[in-house]
Structure 1
Amino acid sequence: MRKRYDYVIVGGGSAGSALANRLSADGTSTVLVLEAGRSDFVFDPLIHMPGALMFPSGNPLYDWAYETEPEPHMGGRRVAHARGKVLGGSSSINGMIFQRGNPGDYEKWATNEGMEHWDYAHCLPYFKRMETTLAGADAWRGGSGPLKLERGPASSPLFQAFFEATEQAGYARTDDVNGYRQEGFAPFDRNVYRGSRLSASRAYLWPVRDRDNLDIVTLATVTGLRWQGDRVTGVDIVRPRKRHSSVEAGEVILCGGAFNSPQLLQLSGVGDPEVLRAAGVTPRVELPGVGENLQDHLEVYLQHVSLQPVSIAPWLKMWKAPYIGAQWLFLNKGVGASNHFEGGGFIRTNDQVAYPNLMFHFLPIAVRYDGTASEGKHGYQVHVGPMNSDVLGHVRIKDADPFHHPAIQFNYLSTENDRREWVEVIRAARHILSQPAFAAFDGGESSPGPSVETDEQLVDWVAKDAETALHPSCSARMGVDDMAVVDPSTMRVHGTEGLRVVDASVFPSITNGNIYAPVMMVAEKAADIVAGNTPLAPEHPPVYRAGAGMPLYPEGDARNTAWNARTDIPSAMAAMAAPGEDDR
């Protein structure tokens, strides 16, 4: 390591990988990436084999193994949160599902003061810059970016039954949930290329790791920020065998994610003074929003027994692992070459929401995310949960020790609206799974089972059985109001100099899908902001807006006026009526 860098990036995960690539591209700016986890070694199949995705979760070699405080509306149980403990961060252990979210998510961001340039038109060019859509580039999709996206074949009998069932249930098909029309069902894009996981590290860091102006250091925990007045001038680091050091920086950019970035801010005296003093930290910059506004997607698995031997359950038997591994290693194909989340879709559970509030992941096996509860039986399932819950939580340090996990509380199921949506979600999923297309396969619902039927029983089951979809975000949000943490025009932490945050924590609100793609978009856009580059010009292709005219916020919220101004109802209605527009 050098003694000083132009940019020190704290966290070599998704956002950190993208920033390191872009900020070092000029060949002159010196960039240091500090990752607390280990390297994502090329010979590690549990990272690079898509079909092995269930094994890193809960494994201390790969997972930081966070968990929430007892959730008061879930019987006091703690909910496990896997976070990647390797270079590439959670993109090295996640489900590899690539979902941008709905254009309405970014229109929603833009209704907040100071966020006007984070609308869909301004975000779209950065989505396109980062991707190579192997299914074909167009007005909505990119064709020359680092992220090469394979589309799931979703061709097995169970996937075909699922898609047919969605049409029988009255829902549309779409060509591309990341393109013109999100609402509907289709095969999914995946961060899989030539049979291997394409993490942020593999896509952005590996190709440029030999640049002379880029250093990547793993097993390096940043324990605090170094200050001169309100300016951050560097970081303190602990490496193996308790070796302490520090490095100077022109800019420090936090990319630790929704848990670690607010934690490091609070440890360094940036946050709510009451929270800091209670943890034994002297306040330096008063920002009460640090660690607040925490959001996530909770999900359940509706599982059915399959009457026909067409699921992938037999492949989970341990004695088949050597064959699966050899087939993947030498031929780049087989069961190990797929993440198996090959298709799904988005719907609105009622006509009063502006855009889809429910995402389906279909899986041709009945199994928990960590691989448990399969018992080798044939089955299938859908992963479902509300996408736009109004539940808010927090991340708060308990003490001044940087090696202690912070207190994480999501407050799942704490609002009446959230509980109501959960009932709608499960009934919508059951409606699809009960269609005639599944008649030849359906051996009955095994989870939650037919005895769970009333609204109260459904919510109780969610409280006992739901797991996180692993999308923590929004805990150091962009904005210009009193609870905002990050300036959306500079990515700087309010009240400081030389300190920025770029990761999922800066989202003003959670997007309605898996958050990896939005994180990468934020990093791409932030890279131009940090480097002082001319931003990419906004693009305005038409998008499907079935819920145009529906209010986005509760009645009386002034932001509804801004939302309505961004929604062109006549154009949306014309697009809906146009023949051949993905409505089959």
Structure 2
Amino acid sequence: MALGFLLAVLSLAHLSLGGTIFTDPAQVTKNYDFIVVGGGTAGSVVATRLSENPSVSILVIEAGVADNGTDSDIIYTPLLAGTGIGTILDWNYTTTPQSGLNGRALGYPRGFVAGGSSCINSMIYSRGPSDEYNRLATVSGDFGWSWLSLLPYIFKNEKHTPPWNHRSNLGEYNPLAHGYGPLLTGLTPTVYEHDRLVIQTTVDHPLQYPFNLDLNSGNGLGFGWLQTSVGHSVRSTSASTYLRPALDSRGNIDLLLHSQVIKLVATAPNTFNAVQVAQNAAATNYQFTASKEVIVSAGAVGTPQLLMLSGIGPAQQLANVGIASAIDLPDVGNNLQDQMILTLQWEVNGTTMSSFYDDPAAYNAALAQYALNKTGIAAGNPVVNTIGFMRLPSNSPLLDGGDPAAGPNAAHYQLAFLGTFYPNEGQSSPTGGNWMSIAIVVQSPTSRGSISLTSSNAFVHPSINPAFFTTAFDIGTAIQAVKTAKAFVATSAWNDFIIAPFADTAALTTDAEIEAYIRTYSTTLKHPTSTAKISKSSDQGGVVDQHLLVKGASKLRIVDASILPSSVAGYPQAEVYIIAERAADLIKATWGLL
């Protein structure tokens, strides 16, 4: 009897350890020390790390859905990466018509789900070069943002794992560049002939196309094996590795889903430690106050929109939509940068993934195998296994106006090798045959656009203008990247593999033809940054200081990709994780919680 009673008490105690998941703001009746706006890549990390101190309470407010609901297979099956775009998991934004893209407006995916864009992206884990972080330190005036200073947070965030089939990846990555964190990463389970030829080309031409053992080591240049946020056969997200484990085990962190923060509220002059929340434009508004501070992690689109809705931003623009200015910060919503992606294609003499994608039966069989035991093609990143980061020649006229890259170790453009025919949007695809594609990306663009309000209604999407390809540097670098891709597969290693370029690729013989192709087919890589950029506390410009505190405000901090000074010469997912890790410690230090 006594033993049964004790077990029951222990069981109840265990249940009480976890946080609460709310689906309606009316359910929230507690008071909190911290409110985190956005449960995405950054917000999940910050909230989880703050919850490590049992003396504080945290509420995470996420506008979107749960990551482990009915659509979780779309999120967590590696083969299905990208299929969440355009679904309930996506904010489904659209850009303004882009003059640099022949007037095309683009879909602009962002994660509308706990875990944010870490749930719908292409799973690529690429920290970028050490130069990127050193630039962050220089711009902010804080050495704590430098590569060397951030190494403890890098190792705290990520852990390398073997592929599901335990294929040996000796010589394909550097174990010393990886840590012990909750986010799991890994290499491909299956190596294809085109991957081997990429590496062979680095052996044949080491000066022109150098091999890089680990592109996450801080050395940002060269060709090597792509690492993805996949571990133990499952996509690794900020929700699955940070937020949900915290909610499962700690009673001081709660999550409110399906609820959008529509305004930051000042409880005293310029002290924005309260939020208004609603589930739609017609729903009741609720207000919650953080006794310590509010951390905004709504992303490079959502964060500037929320600031401007709250009267923090360019005063004249706010007046145009009837919002009174509380803090005039002209850089809010400005300086938007993003990266473009474009593919070239070749028919090849060898097995690629083309036949798999052309065969619905094989595709469905792979999903069935994965559902059964988490093995097979669906259990790893099947399309992109090798990648290269390159710089323009030092004497390139494109650099006459200055070098936009973070430093000499940072790439101007990227080549990624895809084992299938990957069509550009609006491009026809061939039937049959084996194909490979090379994706090109301008890593260090100079074009800068904006996020601006079109309404004072928080449920009306903002105007998104990335201003793609509006500078000579960007279009010139993209042209050079196309030429480099064609030259790469023209080397001797590819002689017996390449049959012929696809007709559209073969037609690219002049700069004018390449430029026309770029403007016709390029689309967003979904890497928006810099709309609430960091700067020194003494600088007139910028939105946040070196501690990520909003300038002119109290108890208000931003932690997400919007604070980055420029596009990154890697993939921003990794950098956002690292920034969020340090940001959590900055917050703890502010409130004596370390």
TM bucket, shorter chain: 0.7 to 0.9
Please tell me the residue identity of whatever aligns with 1:235: V
Distance of aligned partners of 1:375 and 1:475 in 2 relative to their CA distance in 1, 3 Å threshold? same
Distance of aligned partners of 1:140 and 1:372 in 2 relative to their CA distance in 1, 3 Å threshold? farther
Quote the Cα distance in structure 1 between the aligned partners of 2:74 and 2:113. 12
User: Within the alignment, does 1:51 sit opposite 2:79 as a pair?
Assistant: yes
Quote the Cα distance in structure 1 between the aligned partners of 2:425 and 2:151. 34
Give the C-alpha shift of residue 316 in structure 1: 4.9
User: Following superposition of structure 1 onto structure 2, how do residues 172-183 of structure 1 map, counting pairs within 5 Å?
Assistant: 172-179=210-217, 181-183=219-221
User: Is the Cα contact below 8 Å between 2:129 and 2:218 reproduced in 1?
Assistant: no
Distance of aligned partners of 1:47 and 1:376 in 2 relative to their CA distance in 1, 3 Å threshold? farther
The structure 1 residue matched to 2:499, chosen from 443, 452, 457, is 443
Quote the Cα distance in structure 1 between the aligned partners of 2:285 and 2:430. 48
Q: Describe the superposition over 1:480-523 as per-residue Cα deviations: whole angstroms up to 9, x where unpaired.
A: 322210011x2110011111100000001221011100000110
User: Is the Cα contact below 8 Å between 1:68 and 1:79 reproduced in 2?
Assistant: yes
Distance of aligned partners of 1:262 and 1:387 in 2 relative to their CA distance in 1, 3 Å threshold? same
User: Within the alignment, does 1:485 sit opposite 2:547 as a pair?
Assistant: no
Quote the Cα distance in structure 2 between the aligned partners of 1:88 and 1:330. 25
Please state whether the residue corresponding to 2:441 is helix, strand or coil.
Answer: strand
2:231 aligns with 193
1:502 aligns with 559
User: Within the alignment, does 1:512 sit opposite 2:569 as a pair?
Assistant: yes
Give the C-alpha shift of residue 166 in structure 1: 4.2
User: Following superposition of structure 1 onto structure 2, how do residues 213-292 of structure 1 map, counting pairs within 5 Å?
Assistant: 213-228=252-267, 229-239=269-279, 242-250=283-291, 251-292=293-334
Quote the Cα distance in structure 1 between the aligned partners of 2:326 and 2:352. 60
User: Is the Cα contact below 8 Å between 2:425 and 2:521 reproduced in 1?
Assistant: no
User: Is the Cα contact below 8 Å between 2:74 and 2:83 reproduced in 1?
Assistant: yes
Quote the Cα distance in structure 2 between the aligned partners of 1:231 and 1:95. 38
Please state whether the residue corresponding to 1:389 is helix, strand or coil.
Answer: coil
The number of residues matched between the two structures is 533
Distance of aligned partners of 1:517 and 1:298 in 2 relative to their CA distance in 1, 3 Å threshold? same
Please tell me the residue identity of whatever aligns with 1:189: Q
1:366 aligns with 421
Distance of aligned partners of 1:342 and 1:370 in 2 relative to their CA distance in 1, 3 Å threshold? farther
Distance of aligned partners of 1:374 and 1:124 in 2 relative to their CA distance in 1, 3 Å threshold? farther
User: Following superposition of structure 1 onto structure 2, how do residues 38-117 of structure 1 map, counting pairs within 5 Å?
Assistant: 38-41=65-68, 44-59=72-87, 61-112=88-139, 114-117=141-144
The structure 2 residue matched to 1:33, chosen from 53, 57, 60, is 60
Quote the Cα distance in structure 1 between the aligned partners of 2:131 and 2:211. 19
Distance of aligned partners of 1:134 and 1:195 in 2 relative to their CA distance in 1, 3 Å threshold? closer
Please state whether the residue corresponding to 1:484 is helix, strand or coil.
Answer: coil
Give the C-alpha shift of residue 42 in structure 1: 5.8
Q: Describe the superposition over 1:347-377 as per-residue Cα deviations: whole angstroms up to 9, x where unpaired.
A: 2231356232222221101124889855553
Give the C-alpha shift of residue 533 in structure 1: 7.4
Please tell me the residue identity of whatever aligns with 2:215: V
Give the C-alpha shift of residue 342 in structure 1: 2.0
User: Following superposition of structure 1 onto structure 2, how do residues 288-437 of structure 1 map, counting pairs within 5 Å?
Assistant: 288-340=330-382, 341-351=384-394, 354-355=408-409, 356-368=411-423, 374=429, 377=432, 378-437=434-493
* Identical-pair percentage: 28
Give the C-alpha shift of residue 476 in structure 1: 0.2
Please tell me the residue identity of whatever aligns with 1:233: N
Please state whether the residue corresponding to 2:502 is helix, strand or coil.
Answer: strand
Q: Describe the superposition over 1:187-233 as per-residue Cα deviations: whole angstroms up to 9, x where unpaired.
A: 12211011110111111012111311100111011111121221013
Quote the Cα distance in structure 2 between the aligned partners of 1:403 and 1:28. 35
1:523 aligns with 580
Ranges in structure 2 where 5+ consecutive residues have no aligned partner: 1-27, 163-169, 396-402
CA-atom RMSD in angstroms: 2.3
Q: Which range moved further: 142-151 or 248-257?
A: 142-151
Distance of aligned partners of 1:280 and 1:265 in 2 relative to their CA distance in 1, 3 Å threshold? same
Give the C-alpha shift of residue 322 in structure 1: 3.2
Distance of aligned partners of 1:406 and 1:294 in 2 relative to their CA distance in 1, 3 Å threshold? same
Please state whether the residue corresponding to 1:232 is helix, strand or coil.
Answer: coil
The structure 2 residue matched to 1:468, chosen from 524, 527, 540, is 524
User: Is the Cα contact below 8 Å between 1:115 and 1:479 reproduced in 2?
Assistant: no
User: Is the Cα contact below 8 Å between 1:98 and 1:517 reproduced in 2?
Assistant: yes
The structure 1 residue matched to 2:193, chosen from 150, 157, 167, is 157
Distance of aligned partners of 1:524 and 1:327 in 2 relative to their CA distance in 1, 3 Å threshold? same
Give the C-alpha shift of residue 274 in structure 1: 1.1
Quote the Cα distance in structure 2 between the aligned partners of 1:410 and 1:294. 6
User: Is the Cα contact below 8 Å between 1:55 and 1:370 reproduced in 2?
Assistant: no
TM-score, L = length of structure 2? 0.85
Quote the Cα distance in structure 2 between the aligned partners of 1:234 and 1:21. 20
Give the C-alpha shift of residue 108 in structure 1: 2.1
Quote the Cα distance in structure 2 between the aligned partners of 1:379 and 1:128. 38
Q: Which range moved further: 115-124 or 490-499?
A: 115-124
Quote the Cα distance in structure 2 between the aligned partners of 1:182 and 1:216. 37
Quote the Cα distance in structure 2 between the aligned partners of 1:503 and 1:115. 17
User: Is the Cα contact below 8 Å between 2:198 and 2:386 reproduced in 1?
Assistant: no
TM-score, L = length of structure 1? 0.87
Q: Describe the superposition over 1:426-481 as per-residue Cα deviations: whole angstroms up to 9, x where unpaired.
A: 11111112223223332322264222221122112111100111110011001132
Give the C-alpha shift of residue 258 in structure 1: 0.3
Quote the Cα distance in structure 2 between the aligned partners of 1:441 and 1:144. 40
Distance of aligned partners of 1:89 and 1:6 in 2 relative to their CA distance in 1, 3 Å threshold? same
Please state whether the residue corresponding to 2:368 is helix, strand or coil.
Answer: helix
Quote the Cα distance in structure 1 between the aligned partners of 2:393 and 2:562. 29
Quote the Cα distance in structure 2 between the aligned partners of 1:180 and 1:292. 29
Please tell me the residue identity of whatever aligns with 2:374: N
Give the C-alpha shift of residue 180 in structure 1: 5.3
Quote the Cα distance in structure 2 between the aligned partners of 1:126 and 1:93. 24
1:141 aligns with 177
1:561 aligns with none
User: Is the Cα contact below 8 Å between 1:9 and 1:34 reproduced in 2?
Assistant: yes
Give the C-alpha shift of residue 154 in structure 1: 5.5
